Structure 1
Amino acid sequence: MFFMKYVFEFLICTSFIFITSFSSNVYAEQKYTIYLDADFSGATASSLAIQQGITTALAEVDNQIQGIQFELVIKDHRANSLRSRRNLEKFLLDDQALMVFSGLHSPPLLANKSFINDNKILLLDPWAAAGPITRSSSSQNWIFRLSIDDSNAGSFISKKAIEEGFSKPYLLLEDTGWGRSNEKTMTKALQEASIKPVGLSWFNWGAGKNHAKVLLRDIKNSGADVIFFVGNSVEGVTFTHAMVELPENIRLPIRSHWGITGGDFTQKVTATERKKVDLQFIQTSFSFLNDNISPLAENVLALSIKSNEGLNNKTDIKAPTGFVHAYDLTKIVIAAIRQVKLTGDKNQDKVLVHHALEHLAEPVSGLLKTYHRPFTPFSKQKLDAHEALTIDDYSMGRYNSKDEVVLLK
């Protein structure tokens, strides 16, 4: 009898140990992936910077939250909205995929916005700036942005140009949803200053240099004293080269959106060439090149070098705003996840994280600033609810002779 009791107790104990061990192993093996759906072919610098920012923020928590491993998965949509849609469809089929970070381009997000919201895809935007991206037409809004918002960007670029003394701007914009959203906000901002653009021209991706030269000559002949440019790095290179090749007396200053900083602009347009053009572009108000950066920024920089292959110093971050925004946005996401209890079920957890993002209880210290409730529940009365930054966080910048982005005070 004693022997049977001993065997029974031994079996119960062994079973308990096995079940506990099995449960622990299952929990330890739980993994969530974060998709980065961006253009790694044409806008490589911006996409890599975003990747580096996310990786650095995850490294701060040893790539795990609540015992669950988080891993970054790279998806290259090559600036193609249909390819981005397919990446989002793959995301929906991936039971381990919890959220998606987007890249530089606005058109893929604008084209797929309804699909994202209808399917409740938790999407974090650290760069794409088109105003409508975070303004849903329904009560469902699953896109959160920590970046420049074109509802304010056009106003900021216009205001800074007017402060410099320009009064006859010409709008030179790419013919996409991003370009069209900027046309509206720039025109409105100029109207508020009683200024009317002297002209407007649209260009397509892949515009040639000869076409660019013709456009630039026409713009000069219009009487313009400054060009407001909205385009990406490829077209930025084309128009800058075209400007450099024009006679000096017909070159105009360019005040640009930041799309030109997302690719290989400094590799294609040398410092010597850039000296011949008065070029400034919008940025946000943090740079690792600033004097006396904070201890937090020093630590982030050191960890970024440790965590990312190819980063050996701060000048290796070629599109710094992408890094800064992605790092800050990932820190906010980590804070939101820590505010809830993850279940391991993707569909339940994304709802929990979405709610937490809109109701963050504790401030989050980032590179740009400390975020106090950066997001709130979205409604038609609160169109800025999913915008973490405001116009007060913007600055203008330029490239220096070392190909670095320098903020202008």
Structure 2
Amino acid sequence: MKRLLPGVFGLALLCCGMAVAQAKEPIVLGLHADMSSGSALAGEAIRRGALLAISELNAQGGLLGGRKLELVVRDHHGVPTRATEQLPELASTPHLVALLSGLHGPPVVQNLRFLHEHQLLVVSPWAATTGVVHHQWSPSYTFRVSVNDQQMAEYLIAQALARGHTRLGLILEKTGWGRSNSKAFTEALARRQMAPVAEQWINWADVDGEEQLAAVERSGADALLLAANAPESAAVVRALMRRPADKRLPIYAHGGISGPDFVRQSGALLSQVDLHVVQTFSFIGNPGARAKAVAAKYHALFGTRSEEEIFGPAGTAQAYDAVWLLALAIQKAKSTERARVRDALEHLGPYEGLVRTYQPAFSPSRHEALSPSDYKMATFNPRGVLVLAQPVGTPP
């Protein structure tokens, strides 16, 4: 018996050491987005929002008894097939709990089978494509902390009508996301016994939107509904700027153009276009204590000095909230097992985030954290910065 004691004691020490080591293993989140192509700065805005939340959580001691969070980033250039190639490696990454998707919806939608077969949890802090969250897979492993194409279409049309525009033309990017918006706009207009007076499509990487804009103008449209990402939207806006000021159609645009990629590609006269963009959040003039604290941390981490320098503010804030919601779910689940974290996301309590107070963020029947009550209109100031504007028909 005496000879057994050292061995037993050694085994106990080994097990204890393994438990301590396991407690200190990282908790990994992934960012799967365009980080180098036409919407790269949108991906960077998401990355920064995620890092802000991760830095706060790690400063508080991490999760599950001291496990620190880490972020791994994979660049799919906005191309669904590249995303497909990268997903097996991400799914097998040690300690990876969930992915944040990027600006583009198709890399998620076209890989829903893989995501669900491998129980790979995805939270979208930007992509608005309806099919990211609304699909046949059950239980669903996709959640959203962003606008939704269907709700956004209703909101934009209501804003256009409130400003007296009744002949609405569409310009959409020729992708799955553009088709999602075509369906959303057309159905929202049909509910009002209306139809678009024109529907034009612009290809990825088109540098001139003249043909599409001219077709909308010939239809007699008095306003344009635009759903395209930064490069293609900039092509349309540059074409519009060639018109005399009194001939320029007002534009009501999806939030896909809210990043600095669009500002850089549109030119110096952007503020001279009557352009209204859906947003959910701004740091500029925000009186909230948490918004001020996060802005201060942003400046410290990324070397900015004013809130106007925080690009893609809605994407940044939504990514920040998404990481905090995932952290709360991990704590509630007392586990990093993806299925348990997924279930916990559906049963969180209230949480006061940057974009809104979530009461709660999700439920078993609702994986959309935001609603049209969170939507706001914004315009570009002379410095190319989005600033919130009071929507028509709402109280000051």
> What TM-score do the two structures reach when normalised by structure 1?
0.89
Report Cα offsets for 1:174-222 as digits up to 9, x if no partner: 111211111122122222333321111111111231xx21322222121
Q: Extract unaligned runs of 5+ from structure 1.
A: 379-384
Distance 2:92 2:131 in 1: 27
Opposite residue 129 of structure 1, the aligned amino acid is A
Match of 1:295 in 2: 289
Distance 2:116 2:189 in 1: 33
Match of 2:223 among 220, 223, 226: 226
Distance 1:314 1:250 in 2: 34
Report Cα offsets for 1:59-82 as digits up to 9, x if no partner: 112162112221000110001111
Give the secondary-structure state (helix, strand or coil) at the position aligned to 1:73. strand
2:361 pairs with 1:363: no
Q: Is the 8 A contact 1:226 1:253 kept in 2?
A: yes
Match of 2:234 among 237, 247, 258: 237
Distance 2:271 2:304 in 1: 28
Match of 1:390 among 350, 357, 371: 371
Distance 1:13 1:106 in 2: 55
Change in CA separation of 1:32 and 1:240 when aligned onto 2, cut-off 3 Å: same
Distance 1:73 1:112 in 2: 19
Change in CA separation of 1:30 and 1:277 when aligned onto 2, cut-off 3 Å: same
Aligned Cα root-mean-square deviation (Å):
2.2
Change in CA separation of 1:161 and 1:24 when aligned onto 2, cut-off 3 Å: same
Q: How does 1:130-169 map to 2 (within 5 A)?
A: 130-169=129-168
2:244 pairs with 1:251: no
Report Cα offsets for 1:136-169 as digits up to 9, x if no partner: 2132310000100112111110000000000101
Q: Tell me by how many angstroms 1:315 deviates.
A: 2.5
2:62 pairs with 1:43: no
Q: Is the 8 A contact 1:104 1:262 kept in 2?
A: no
Q: How does 1:42-81 map to 2 (within 5 A)?
A: 42-62=38-58, 64-66=62-64, 67-81=66-80
Match of 1:206 in 2: 205
Q: How does 1:83-232 map to 2 (within 5 A)?
A: 83-209=82-208, 212-232=209-229
Change in CA separation of 1:8 and 1:108 when aligned onto 2, cut-off 3 Å: closer
Distance 2:161 2:26 in 1: 51
Report Cα offsets for 1:86-137 as digits up to 9, x if no partner: 2211112223221111000111112112221222111110000011110121
Distance 1:314 1:208 in 2: 31
Give the secondary-structure state (helix, strand or coil) at the position aligned to 1:354. helix
> What TM-score do the two structures reach when normalised by structure 2?
0.91
Q: Tell me the matched-pair count.
A: 386
Q: Tell me by how many angstroms 1:363 deviates.
A: 1.3
Match of 2:319 in 1: 326
Report Cα offsets for 1:241-289 as digits up to 9, x if no partner: 1111134443211111111123512223344x113321111111x2111
Opposite residue 246 of structure 1, the aligned amino acid is R
Distance 2:94 2:202 in 1: 41
Distance 1:74 1:337 in 2: 20
Q: Is the 8 A contact 2:240 2:248 kept in 1?
A: yes
Q: Is the 8 A contact 1:234 1:263 kept in 2?
A: no
Q: Is the 8 A contact 2:31 2:71 kept in 1?
A: yes
Distance 2:305 2:83 in 1: 31
Distance 1:303 1:248 in 2: 41
Opposite residue 295 of structure 1, the aligned amino acid is A
Q: Extract unaligned runs of 5+ from structure 2.
A: 391-396
Distance 2:137 2:40 in 1: 33
Opposite residue 347 of structure 2, the aligned amino acid is H
Residue identity over aligned pairs, in percent, reads: 32
Match of 2:263 among 263, 266, 283: 266
Q: Is the 8 A contact 2:150 2:185 kept in 1?
A: no
Report Cα offsets for 1:355-382 as digits up to 9, x if no partner: 100111x21110111111221114xxxx
Match of 1:341 in 2: 334
Change in CA separation of 1:208 and 1:302 when aligned onto 2, cut-off 3 Å: closer
Q: Is the 8 A contact 1:220 1:250 kept in 2?
A: no
Match of 1:377 in 2: 364
